[in-house]
Structure 1
Amino acid sequence: MANECNTCKKTGIDLKKCSKCQTTLYCSRDCQKADWKSHKKSPPRGLDGPIYKPYTHLHERKWLHDRPEKDVYRLLIDCYRMRMADYVKFDGLAEAGSVQGGAADPEPSFRCFLQAVEAKPELLPPWWDDVKKEACVQLGRSGDDWSRLRCAVEKDEVVEHYGDTSFAMQLRLFGEQVFGNTPGTFGNGAQVIEGMMRMEAPSDLVWSRAHLGF
């Protein structure tokens, strides 16, 4: 695929990537602004649907709402796997039942995680029920290579998979809403969310400055 501006299609010039998706190229802030209405509707890599202003959704405790069902399953799996990795990285302790703890089958541990999420019902979309829960577990048991519970992930792999430098942070912040804390010391999650929400201001210019290095 030719390296060209996604808006004006110019080639052979200095192009910069949108830092949100890490793939779309623009030659200028004006071209990025012109493409914003359609580009904001593009989902991150690895997901079927987009979610506009994810930190606002986190603030409203609706980060999993308004998403395709399979995306909700993928994100629950990845939030669990991210947290299991963080326990080792920041606390030096492997959670019993996790891959990091030597478990051959992490499914029981993942089910405990889902129970913790269900204890905060406002975090789950209204359609969630026992049938959907089993569909989520099934994806982790035998879904695509990325979503398998038996495959541990690290932050850099999450960023690469979704093409979004902030995605590991989003997973961690959702995990904090579930458990009331994060492994290690990341500060106050609510303050982090408020700061990131300011970068989600409706102004295209603000968005452009946040997501393109011009």
Structure 2
Amino acid sequence: MEDPQTSATPAPPSCFNCKKLQTEFPKLLMRCAKCRTALYCSLECQKADWKSHKPTCHLTGSAPPPNPPQGPKARHNPGFQAMNDMFGLSNDDFLHDRPEGEVFNLLIDSFRMRVEDESVYGGNTIGVYNGENTLPLFKKFLSLAESRQKLLPTWWSSVERGECERLAESGSQWSDINCAVEKSEIQDHYNDNLMPMKLRILAEKIYGKGFM
């Protein structure tokens, strides 16, 4: 007779925050980008657990390697394509047919959300999170946006880009690249609980990769 201690099936992994098992989710749990050990079912759970996980995150020296690439979209965050389709963003026209000022604000806030996510989830303190000049990072962000086909409105030009950059560092309105922003603030400002995720998808399209 087999020893039940040696023949028992190992317990499936679980989310470090909500403790739900991998078997309860349709997709693989996400790994912390820094230590590659902590597992989370969502960005919200990872953010909620960060204060507890942060002190030991850098101490993990024998983390398992990341999952191997599964195709051309492997560099995107888990669930990117599903959310891209669900929010109707797959046509890359999210910024089209909007007033000029609104497009500027969405680009700025998409960048601000990405800087926040890089710090909280990716372990990369950039921009306002480490006191560096944020404008060069934002200019690179806009250059990448310009390199993506059909992502920007047809009226976009160097003139509009200059106006967007001036608005981003003016500090006189809501969208200010020198001020940190959190998910809840984005939700309140746009009166849309899904806007943070939409802006994350937009930033991921612009950067061509996720932060995880």
TM, length-normalised to structure 2: 0.57
Q: Which residue of 1 aligns with 2:106?
A: 75
Local SS of the residue matching 1:165? coil
Local SS of the residue matching 2:118? helix
Q: Which residue of 2 aligns with 1:99?
A: 128
Local SS of the residue matching 1:82? helix
Q: Quick one: which amino acid aligns to residue 106 of structure 1? A: T
Q: Quick one: which amino acid aligns to residue 74 of structure 1? A: N
Q: Quick one: which amino acid aligns to residue 195 of structure 2? A: F
**How far 1:121 moved relative to its partner?**
3.3
Q: Which residue of 2 aligns with 1:31?
A: none
Aligned pair 1:154/2:186, yes or no?
no
Q: Quick one: which amino acid aligns to residue 113 of structure 1? A: F
**How far 1:181 moved relative to its partner?**
2.2
Q: 1:137 aligns with which of 160, 165, 175?
A: 165
Q: What pairs with 1:1-214 in structure 2 (closer than 5 Å)? A: 55-56=87-88, 58-95=89-126, 98-103=127-132, 105-142=133-170, 144-184=172-212
1:168-194 deviation per Cα after TM superposition (whole angstroms, max 9, x unaligned)? 00001111211222223xxxxxxxxxx
**How far 1:116 moved relative to its partner?**
0.9
Larger radius of gyration: 2
**How far 1:143 moved relative to its partner?**
5.3
1:118-146 deviation per Cα after TM superposition (whole angstroms, max 9, x unaligned)? 11031000000000000000111215331
C-alpha contact (below 8 Å) 2:171/2:178 kept by paired residues: no
Structure 2, unpaired ranges of 5+: 1-85
In the alignment, the residues of structure 2 paired with residue 144 and residue 55 of structure 1 have an alpha-carbon distance, to the nearest angstrom, of: 31
Paired residue total: 128
Local SS of the residue matching 2:87? helix
- Runs of 4+ with >3 A deviation: none
In the alignment, the residues of structure 2 paired with residue 113 and residue 79 of structure 1 have an alpha-carbon distance, to the nearest angstrom, of: 10
TM, length-normalised to structure 1: 0.57
Q: Which residue of 2 aligns with 1:32?
A: none
In the alignment, the residues of structure 1 paired with residue 146 and residue 185 of structure 2 have an alpha-carbon distance, to the nearest angstrom, of: 27
Structure 1, unpaired ranges of 5+: 1-53, 185-214
Percent of matched pairs sharing the same residue: 39
Q: Quick one: which amino acid aligns to residue 100 of structure 1? A: Y
Q: Quick one: which amino acid aligns to residue 199 of structure 2? A: L
Q: Quick one: which amino acid aligns to residue 177 of structure 1? A: K
Moved more, 62-71 or 136-145: 136-145
In the alignment, the residues of structure 2 paired with residue 144 and residue 121 of structure 1 have an alpha-carbon distance, to the nearest angstrom, of: 31
In the alignment, the residues of structure 2 paired with residue 122 and residue 100 of structure 1 have an alpha-carbon distance, to the nearest angstrom, of: 31
In the alignment, the residues of structure 1 paired with residue 175 and residue 207 of structure 2 have an alpha-carbon distance, to the nearest angstrom, of: 22
Q: Which residue of 2 aligns with 1:200?
A: none
